[in-house]
């Protein structure tokens, strides 16, 4: 049986670009249907993320025009990651595969063919990865690529240069639904689910119309979210630093005692130095230890699944 595909598209104040890109999504869906890769029950599912312009009216009109279009609307603006999650969770019961993609036409729709092929070959997650960043400014490119490297250093298993253009099977989504956390950084969370995955490379273009809703402020907050939601390594670093400083202050204490004993200091200097050195080291180590516990509590309250089973042996049958 052919898989049912849902293309999940978050939209926030996108009245300018939707009339253009909705037709491109439809064409892509039809061409995949004609190639007998997906079922005619496939849909484009738009998620209106609490838009203040005519986005919802446009989505309602689209749904009236063609049965391939569906729309859901969030009660208020919750941000891109939450909008994508809402769409994926809505889609997971009705489809076999989802592809999440922005609605501004920046991501190359033709990469979907390769994504569906990879799914038909047995992959459950297919990451869309930017092959180059020619269309970015030097600043964006430098900070984005540096960030992906930093994430890795912090122990976050995110795919390099992958944003949120991704194929995910409904099977993975059903497991993903058990990740109950509210601080979302989807691109770093899907690798946690496991299953067979691969990457498809594509070139990212300029926005077709309208303007970006990701100003530097939002980008920085997403970047911060990525580290703090997925890694407790910064807390380990504090513990490590505490131990190093404690060791250094121990040397400082010995040094100040020697200076005092050789008579090269004013009275009271050595005792003051000893106290400052020791307290600094002890305080930071204690903070680190507290941090370790907080890190553990943080991971516990996320309530992430402790195991996910991907396969079971079939019952033995006599041939
Ligand atoms: N978006 C959203 N909610 C928001 C901001 C953005 O659903 O609060 C959607 C937006 O409509 C688009 C996608 O997220 O489909 C990516 O946003 P945008 O193109 O503005 O970001 P950029 O590509 O400039 O990083
Ligand atoms: Mg964009």
Q: What is the pLDDT of residues 38-68, one digit of tens each?
A: 999 999 999 999 999 999 999 999 999 999 9
**Choice between 315 and 23, residue whose per-residue pLDDT is larger:** 23
pLDDT tens for 144-159 read 888 888 888 888 888 8
Please provide the average confidence, as pLDDT, over all residues in the chain. 91
pLDDT at 135 over 80: no
- Residues 269-275 have a mean pLDDT of 83
Give me the residues paired with residue 9 across strands.
46
Assign 193 a pLDDT band (cuts: 50, 70, 90). very high
- Residues 80-92 have a mean pLDDT of 96
CB 221 near ligand 1, within 6 Å: no
Our separate counts of H helices and E strands in the chain read 10, 7
Chain-centroid distance of CA 65 in Å reads: 34
**Choice between 37 and 273, residue whose per-residue pLDDT is larger:** 37
Cα angle 199-185-94, degrees, rounded to a multiple of 5: 70
- Residues 224-243 have a mean pLDDT of 88
Please tell me the distance between residue 174's alpha carbon and the centre of ligand 2 in angstroms. Answer: 28
CB 104 near ligand 1, within 6 Å: yes
Please tell me the distance between residue 214's alpha carbon and the centre of ligand 2 in angstroms. Answer: 8
d(CA 12, CA 56): 10
Residues of the chain above pLDDT 90, percent: 58
State residue 319's pLDDT score.
57
Backbone angles phi, psi at 134, to 5 degrees: -65, -35
**Choice between 117 and 264, residue whose per-residue pLDDT is larger:** 117
pLDDT at 316 over 80: no
Question: Which of 9, 10, 73 gets mutated to test ligand 1 (max ligand atoms within 8 A of its CB)?
Answer: 10
CB 79 near ligand 1, within 6 Å: yes
Total residues belonging to the chain: 319
**Choice between 185 and 310, residue whose per-residue pLDDT is larger:** 185
- Sole residue written with tokens 């946690």: 192
pLDDT tens for 13-29 read 999 999 999 999 999 99
Per-residue tokens: 102: 């922005």
Give me the residues paired with residue 100 across strands.
8, 166
Atom 24 of ligand 1, residue of closest alpha carbon: 212
- Residues 197-205 have a mean pLDDT of 93
- Residues 240-253 have a mean pLDDT of 88
Q: Do the beta carbons of residue 99 and residue 166 sit within 8 Å?
A: yes
Cα angle 166-106-184, degrees, rounded to a multiple of 5: 45
Q: Does pTM top 0.95 for this prediction?
A: no
Reduced to 3 states, what is the DSSP secondary structure of residue 241? helix
Please tell me the distance between residue 81's alpha carbon and the centre of ligand 1 in angstroms. Answer: 9
CB 213 near ligand 1, within 6 Å: yes
Q: Which of 116, 66, 64 is nearest to 95 (CA)?
A: 116
Q: Do the beta carbons of residue 128 and residue 107 sit within 8 Å?
A: yes
State residue 111's pLDDT score.
96
* Ligand found nearest the CA of 163: 1
């Amino acid at each position: 049986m052919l898989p049912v595909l849902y293309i999940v598209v978050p939209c926030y104040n996108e009245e300018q670009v939707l009339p253009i890109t909705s037709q491109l999504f439809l064409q892509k869906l039809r061409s995949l249907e004609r190639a007998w890769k997906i079922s005619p029950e496939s849909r484009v599912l738009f998620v209106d993320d609490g838009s203040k312009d005519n986005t919802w009216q446009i989505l309602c009109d689209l749904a009236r025009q063609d049965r391939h279009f569906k729309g859901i609307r969030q009660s208020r603006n919750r941000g891109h990651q939450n909008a994508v999650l809402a769409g994926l969770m809505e889609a997971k019961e009705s489809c076999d595969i989802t592809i999440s993609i922005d609605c501004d036409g920046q991501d190359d729709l033709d990469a979907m063919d390769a994504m569906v092929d990879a799914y038909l070959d047995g992959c459950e997650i297919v990451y869309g990865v930017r092959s180059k960043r020619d269309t970015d400014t030097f600043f964006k490119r430098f900070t984005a690529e540096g960030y992906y490297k930093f994430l890795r250093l912090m122990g976050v298993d995110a795919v390099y240069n992958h944003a949120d253009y991704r194929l995910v099977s409904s099977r993975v989504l059903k497991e993903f639904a058990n990740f109950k956390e509210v601080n979302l950084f989807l691109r770093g969370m899907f690798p946690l689910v496991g299953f067979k995955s691969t990457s498809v490379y594509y070139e990212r273009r300029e926005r077709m119309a309208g303007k970006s809703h990701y100003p530097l402020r939002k980008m920085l907050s997403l970047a911060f979210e990525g580290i703090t939601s997925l890694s407790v390594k910064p807390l380990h670093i504090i513990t490590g630093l505490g131990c190093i400083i404690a060791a250094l202050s121990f040397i400082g204490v010995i040094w100040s005692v020697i200076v005092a004993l050789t008579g090269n200091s004013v009275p009271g200097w050595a005792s003051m130095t000893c106290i400052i050195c020791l307290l600094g080291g002890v305080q930071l180590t204690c903070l680190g230890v507290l941090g370790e516990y907080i890190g553990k509590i943080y991971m516990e309250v996320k309530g992430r699944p402790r195991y996910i089973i991907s396969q079971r042996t079939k019952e033995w049958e006599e041939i």
